[in-house]
Structure 1
Amino acid sequence: MSKKNWKVLLALPLLGLLVLAGCAQTEAQQNADYEGTKKMVIDLLKTDEGKKAFHELIAEEDMREELVMDSDFVKKTIQDTLTSEEGKTFWQEVMKDPEFAKTFAESMQSENEKILKSLMKDPEYQQMMMDILKDPQMGEQALELMKSKEYREQIMGIMNEALESPYFASKMTDLMSKAMEKQTKGQDQNKEGS
């Protein structure tokens, strides 16, 4: 082997060692840079300017939606809060506000309708409803409700709206004319029979 080949053979492993050492040093530097950057970000967030920037970021609508919808921690926190005694008290107080209660009910309406429709198809739920309706106390309460002034006013309002409707008026006219025809035919048959 010539001296030149020897040098090349020796240079290749040395070159490989140098590259590996450079990579190791780069990885260590990257780790140190990451730790330094992390510490710097944490320090920045603790400043008044950092807190203000964070609050502005959270105030954005799409960011809040993403945080609420995607975070398991937030979901668990809300669930724990709702089931706690303080949470129940809080919601009872909040629901006393008519504007909030209206908005909350409207937001849940379509979901509640889906649940109710699926329950109406459930035989067990149907049987429970039938048992409730057959209960004598339920019948008494329904009668009491029908006797109330508010209920009667509501029924009168519905009847007035129906009478003002052109469709309802034409339907009533048709029914009355059919009833009159039956009555006149009955009278004619009685005259012929006597």
Structure 2
Amino acid sequence: MDTLTHNLETQLESSITNSIKNSMTYAAYRALMGQLTESHSTTGLDKSEAMVAYTALNEQRMKRWDKTLKVPVDAQEKIAAFKERVTWLVLTESWCGDAAHVIPAINKVAELNPNIDLKLVLRDDHDDLMQQFLTNGGKSIPKLIMIDNASGTVRGTFGPRPAEATQLVESYKRDHGAITEEFKEILQGWYNKDKGQHTIIDLLQLLGVS
């Protein structure tokens, strides 16, 4: 192993270790969302009124998905059969619309297998980790990093969106050049109709049990 590769691996290991040490459970993250909504605040470096409003909206979205999102029986059986011990470390922020739709589905899957340990960290507080898991050069969230608990190695990633939603986004960008407010409404409609099912499908693939 050359020196550069060794240094990069050491940096990644350090970023992951520190992030897990400072992480939250899903229950703690949901409690934080509620507190932020009540205090009219938001996570992240941008504390603008727009971000505060997004956080309040996302609190309602997550509350709805926590109550209504269902994992199909066949998927439950596949998830339960996963035998390796892993940590799902997720980068997120309270204002992120994709995170509000995706993370409840991630939690539902993790709850079905005690071998999956779900941890969440805020992106802007863990830039060193985020910089190592960019999407097309951007700090897109949510980003799930699957870590093998025995070896500490990264087994794979998921995010910021399920594959089908990503295709929808890329197709719109090709046709229109950029994401518009109109498209954001279209994407929210897609999430509402999908009910977390394509996130679950992609997570099964991440686990290797699809």
Do these two structures clear the TM 0.5 threshold for a shared fold by scoring above it? no
TM range (shorter): under 0.3
1 or 2, which has the higher helix percentage?
Answer: 1
**Greater per-residue strand proportion:** 2
Structure 2 length-normalised TM: 0.17
